[in-house]
């Protein structure tokens, strides 16, 4: 073992490959990372700055005709920490370059369309970092567990989602799919905190307990998602989420890798800097008092 740090690159340590067994995952583990919270937090901050630089490069690329974008898809049970990832990881980059969308219970208009309609509408434009807080995967998770459509309907969706994501990636978007995996005990502790603190009551939804009561069915539905939709073009990364500092560190690292993989550089420009500097120097601005500033 060397110093604290990534002993195995995060994308490799966290990827859900063939045979990945969600039930066997220790949700308090820190795959690929050697070090504790004291080492992890400053590292995450430094990588957050790197992420912000890369996001600016992506934005510049988009502003100059580039077609690439990145989409972070965040899934996880209630209290798994999706909101914290948005606040802390996405909060490190310039809000102007982020397209964030939370997918709740579909509206009447959304229900009148195909389930991918609202998803397509929310895809990041070129140059943007898109973030989905929940996503089309709810259509094979809650929809499956709660039996909102017949089995043959949700069963057909895995292939449909794979085809959709292939189309999205082919059009230039790198899709980073993150499943935050929390343990039952840690979820209980987080729900308990919401109940014990009046300033957190607004975040508490009694329906969360109904979902919790169906834990094994959700685990089974997540396992099916990992088995059937962790493709080469859009793999799943399963991030143990009992330790919030690790989850934030890991998602930051996955995004840094995704953006570095684009191998972007500052876009060439067709402006003539010397000529523009001469134009700039030639402009005389009358001062309110009568003199001219330059």
Residues that bind a copy of itself (CB under 8 A): 23-24, 60, 63-64, 83, 86-87, 90-91, 94-96, 98, 100, 102, 133, 183-185, 188, 191-192, 195-196, 198-199, 201-204, 206, 209, 212-213, 215-216, 219, 266-267, 269, 271, 273, 276-277, 279-280, 283, 285-286, 288, 293-294
Residue among 85 and 140 whose Cβ is closer to a copy of itself: 85
DSSP letter, residue 15: B
CB of 7 to a copy of itself, least distance (A): 27
CB of 86 to a copy of itself, least distance (A): 5
Residue among 87 and 114 whose Cβ is closer to a copy of itself: 87
The helix or strand, by DSSP H or E, that contains position 96, with its residue range, turns out to be none
Residue among 167 and 210 whose Cβ is closer to a copy of itself: 210
Query: In the chain, where does DSSP find H-type helix?
Result: 10-14, 37-63, 82-88, 108-111, 117-121, 142-145, 151-155, 157-170, 184-196, 207-212, 215-229, 244-260, 273-282
Residue among 72 and 161 whose Cβ is closer to a copy of itself: 72
Q: Are 259 and 175 in contact (CB under 8 A)?
A: no
CA distance 256 to 282: 43
Q: Are 141 and 223 in contact (CB under 8 A)?
A: no
Buried/exposed 111-121: b ≥16 CB within 10 Å, e otherwise: eeeebeebbee
CB of 117 to a copy of itself, least distance (A): 19
Residue among 148 and 266 whose Cβ is closer to a copy of itself: 266
């Amino acid at each position: 073992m060397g110093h604290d740090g990534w002993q195995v690159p995060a994308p490799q340590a966290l990827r859900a490959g063939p045979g990945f067994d969600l039930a066997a995952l220790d949700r308090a583990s820190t795959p690929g990372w050697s070090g504790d919270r004291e080492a992890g937090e400053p590292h995450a901050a430094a990588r957050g700055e790197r992420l912000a630089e890369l996001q600016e490069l992506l934005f510049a690329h988009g502003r100059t005709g580039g077609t690439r974008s990145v989409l972070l898809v965040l899934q996880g049970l209630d209290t798994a920490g999706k909101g914290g990832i948005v606040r802390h990881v996405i909060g490190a980059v310039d809000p102007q370059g982020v397209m964030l969308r939370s997918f709740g219970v579909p509206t009447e208009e959304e229900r009148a369309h195909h389930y991918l309609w609202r998803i397509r509408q929310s895809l990041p434009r070129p140059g943007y970092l898109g973030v989905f807080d929940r996503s089309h995967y709810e259509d094979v998770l809650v929809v499956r567990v709660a039996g909102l459509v017949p089995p043959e309907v949700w069963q057909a969706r895995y292939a449909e989602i794979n085809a959709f994501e292939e189309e999205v990636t082919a059009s230039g978007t790198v899709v980073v799919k993150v499943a935050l995996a929390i343990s039952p005990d840690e979820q209980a502790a987080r729900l308990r905190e919401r109940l014990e603190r009046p300033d957190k009551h607004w975040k508490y939804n009694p329906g969360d307990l109904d979902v919790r009561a169906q834990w094994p069915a959700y685990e089974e539905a997540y396992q099916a998602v990992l088995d059937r939709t962790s493709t080469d073009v859009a793999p799943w990364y399963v991030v143990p989420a009992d330790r919030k500092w690790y989850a934030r560190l890991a998602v930051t690292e996955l995004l840094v890798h995704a953006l570095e993989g684009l191998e972007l550089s500052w876009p060439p420009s067709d402006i003539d800097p010397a000529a523009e500097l001469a134009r700039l120097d030639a402009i005389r601005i009358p001062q309110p008092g009568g003199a001219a500033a330059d």
